[in-house]
Amino acid sequence: MLFYLTLFLAFLHLKIFRVRVKEEKMGAVITGEGIINVLALVSLLVFGFMNLSWYFVLIASIVFFIVAALMVVAVKLGIFVDGKPVLVMSMIYKITPLLAMVVVLGTLTTILL
């Protein structure tokens, strides 16, 4: 179960990172965070294909990628209450280091346990 949760969070972070690259200039720290997340995602997928049924990993990856993309698009389009946005991308960008840390720790825990 931790594998699927970490896989979803990794795809969510990847999608947020792709949007951030298109909207802002990136510093070295943020680029490093993205590279570490991609390495964690690749190692998680390799682990999944080696230890689980390939079709479960493939179906979960496709579904999680679509859901993560739809979540980010919904935030970009805006969720408004009384004409004011409830959640904006700048708020999401502030939690990406925490999300990256959770993805890396989840990947390590999944692989080592």
* Number of compact structural domains in the chain: 1
Domain that holds residue 100: 2-112
Q: How confident is the model at residue 104 (pLDDT cuts 50, 70, 90)?
A: very high
- Residues with Cβ < 8 Å from 16, sequence gap 6 or more? 72, 92, 93, 96, 99
Question: Which candidate, 71, 72, 66, 46, places its Cα nearest to that of 57?
Answer: 46
pLDDT reported for residue 40: 95
- Per the DSSP assignment, residues forming a β-bridge with 84 are 81
CB atoms inside a 10 Å sphere around CB 26: 14
- For 15-27, how does the pLDDT look when each residue is reduced to its tens digit (9 = 90+)? 999 999 888 888 8
pLDDT reported for residue 53: 93
End-to-end CA distance of the chain: 12
This prediction has a pTM of 0.90
Is residue 16 a contact partner of residue 82, using CB atoms and an 8 Å limit? no
- Residues with Cβ < 8 Å from 12, sequence gap 6 or more? 68, 71, 72, 99
